[in-house]
Copies of this chain bind each other. A is one copy, B any other.
Amino acid sequence: MVSRKDVAQLAGVSVAVVSYVLNGKNNVKEETRNRVLAAMQELKYEPNLLARSLKTQRTQQLAVFVNYLGNPFEAGILLRLEAAARQEGYLVFFQTYTPDLEQPLISALRGRVDGLVLLGQQLEYETFQRLKALDVPVLSVTQSPMLQEWGIPCIDLDWVKQYREAILFLKNKGHHRIAYMTDTVSGCYHLHRLRAFQEAIRLEGLALPEQLILDGGGKVETATPMFHDFIEQNASNLPMSALVCSNDLMAAAVVDACKTNSIKVPEQLAIIGSEDILMTQHTDPKLTVIHYPREMLGTLAMNMMKQLLLKSPMESFTVEGELLPRGTA
């Protein structure tokens, strides 16, 4: 492999001068710089980034913890984060986060990344401490309990506000028994959304008894059998007339389970999803959803990360959602 020394020899300069050129220093004469660049080209020299990042202590790499990449909501955020990061010269790692892997994940990242983006994981306090020891800025796209209290800035919807809007919309259509489907297993941002929904229901003067909080497990594969069982247990006489789901995969599963069990949507059950993934426009009927403006999340997150890398203090940021009435409510 071609080294800086080879380039220096061919260009007739010292190795230090080659380094100056590589690092964009201004202390090299134009003519010398051109000679060095010509030598690099001739020798097809490419700098070893691994060695370089060791020197600058910057890896130009960011890590993203995803919860479940099989959810198009998260895949879409990752897609946009990568696009925005690349514009700033950063490569993006992603890691599927599970609590049992906290220690190996954090060890694996030590010295490899300049910053970490969470997708609303529900962290243990000890993990949070270890993250601090990584000494890299952390921010979260979507929120989960504790993150903000620990000073990790989050980008998210104002869920209480969004859910109040959805509940009001349902109330205006005569719904007063409104259930909520969450995912207690993964926790993560689902827990934050659940708490916001509970608050929103209270503010709208309705009740959300335990039996109207369903656990759909976050995926189509888990929500489908869960909701079939629920219908069966209630002998098709559902204890609610409307259901808000904390993600769209579960909402799509419920639409399907209703069809299989001859429960008419929205007449017998109105359904609202919380993200507006592509699939929601292909269900039958099409899903009424809260639109989560994912398009802008990548740029927003990257802007925030840049500030954090400069050690600027950073507040959490609220984006505006929108209720999109379609066919299911």
Q: Which of B86, B112, B282 lies in contact with A282, CB distance below 8 A?
A: B282
Complex contacts, A310 vs chain B, CB 8 Å: none
Point out the residues of chain B lying under 8 angstroms from A255, CB to CB.
282
Bound CA–CA A299/B60 (angstroms): 29
CA distance A53 to B92 in the complex (A): 18
Q: Which of B69, B94, B112, B282 contacts A279 (CB 8 A)?
A: B282
Report whether B95 and A93 are in contact in the complex, using a CB–CB cutoff of 8 Å.
no
1/0 per residue A83-99: CB within 8 Å of B?
10010000111111000
Mostly, the A contact residues are helix
A50-B50, A82-B69, A91-B112 known; A256-B282 Cβ under 8 A: yes
* A69 pairs with B79, CB closer than 8 A: yes
Closest residue of B by beta carbon distance from A224: B281
- CA of A76 to CA of B79 in the docked complex: distance in angstroms? 13
Complex contact A50–B92 (CB within 8 A): no
A72 within 8 Å of B (CB atoms): yes
CB-CB under 8 A for A110 and B75, given A94-B94, A282-B252, A282-B279? no
Q: A91-B108, A93-B93, A95-B82 are in contact. Are A50 and B46 (CB under 8 A)?
A: no
**Residue from the set A91, A92, A256 with the largest chain B CB neighbour count within 10 Å:** A91
**Residues of B contacting A315 in the complex (Cβ-Cβ under 8 angstroms):** none
Residues on A lying within 8 angstroms of B by beta carbon are 44, 46-51, 53-54, 59, 61, 68-70, 72, 75-76, 78-79, 82-83, 86, 91-96, 101, 107-108, 110-112, 133, 220, 249, 252, 255-256, 278-279, 281-284
7 of the cross-chain contacts (CB-CB < 8 Å) are A49-B108, A49-B110, A50-B54, A54-B54, A61-B93, A70-B72, A72-B75
